[in-house]
Chains A and B, each alone.
Chain A
Amino acid sequence: AQSVTQPDIHITVSEGASLELRCNYSYGATPYLFWYVQSPGQGLQLLLKYFSGDTLVQGIKGFEAEFKRSQSSFNLRKPSVHWSDAAEYFCASSDWGKLQFGAGTQVVVTP
């Protein structure tokens, strides 16, 4: 079965600094990969997705992610974080239409 792993449970970043969240997947073929964000008490919002083609995908809110088959990774990046980016971020892979989520990375933004 497909799975994703998010190695970092918690990340603290200063406002204006860059952010990178790690995600590793386990699947033989090209997976369908997603990043979702969840603000406190809210549902999940899709940031971006990768199905095929260009390995660098752009998403909403200034986020991007890069698919690297050689490293089985799909890391999320943002060049300059804003206080409003404080949230929990989930990487997910699609398993015949069902999403399998990682455990999430909590992002704290400091002034």
Chain B
Amino acid sequence: DTGVSQDPRHKITKRGQNVTFRCDPISEHNRLYWYRQTLGQGPEFLTYFQNEAQLEKSRLLSDRFSAERPKGSFSTLEIQRTEQGDSAMYLCASSLEESGVGELFFGEGSRLTVL
């Protein structure tokens, strides 16, 4: 399967713990995006990378959140000192940047539950 893969698919943690999610994009895609989706809402943009450069971060991405894409391939999203409000589905997507047309391919997501 050459789609976008995310790991883990589900994570349950206690408040205050750190969690890390990994995303492996489609291999030739140079853009990688992170979105957050809460119940009953559409996905909300968090951040994106063009190769290894993080080009934009949403105001939703507090200081407790950090994302990296060290070699322009896979990416990690870390949440430090988790809070119950961080419970959500974290979606990763990738695209082949072509004039910013924005056709994204999504992974199945990592669902976080903070107790």
CB-contacts of A28-48 with B (<8 A): 32, 34, 36, 41-46
Mark contacts of B37-61 with chain A using CB atoms, 8 A cut-off: 1 yes-contact digit, 0 otherwise.
0001111110010000000100000
In the bound complex, how far is the Cα of B15 from the Cα of A62, in angstroms? 45
In the bound complex, residues from chain B placing their C-beta under 8 Å from that of A98 are 33, 45, 48, 56, 102
Instruction: Decide yes or no whether A13 CB sits under 8 A from chain B.
Output: no
Contact check, A90 vs B42: say whether CB atoms are below 8 A apart: yes
Q: How far is the CB of B29 from chain A (nearest CB, A)?
A: 12
In the bound complex, residues from chain B placing their C-beta under 8 Å from that of A97 are 31, 48, 95, 97, 100-102
Instruction: Decide yes or no whether A58 CB sits under 8 A from chain B.
Output: no
Q: B-side binding surface: helix, strand, loop or mixed?
A: loop
Instruction: Decide yes or no whether A51 CB sits under 8 A from chain B.
Output: yes
Given the interface contacts A97-B95, A98-B33, A101-B43, does A43 sit within 8 Å of B102 by beta carbon? no
Q: How far is the CB of B44 from chain A (nearest CB, A)?
A: 8
Contact check, A32 vs B108: say whether CB atoms are below 8 A apart: no
In the bound complex, how far is the Cα of B44 from the Cα of A95, in angstroms? 13
In the bound complex, residues from chain B placing their C-beta under 8 Å from that of A108 are none
Interface centre among A41, A43, A99 (most CB of B within 10 A): A43
Q: How far is the CB of B27 from chain A (nearest CB, A)?
A: 18
Instruction: Decide yes or no whether B109 CB sits under 8 A from chain A.
Output: yes
Partner of B103, one of A46, A96, A102, A103: A46
In the bound complex, how far is the Cα of B43 from the Cα of A36, in angstroms? 11
In the bound complex, how far is the Cα of B45 from the Cα of A95, in angstroms? 11
Interface residues of A (CB under 8 A from B): 9, 32, 34, 36, 41-46, 49, 51, 90, 92, 94-104
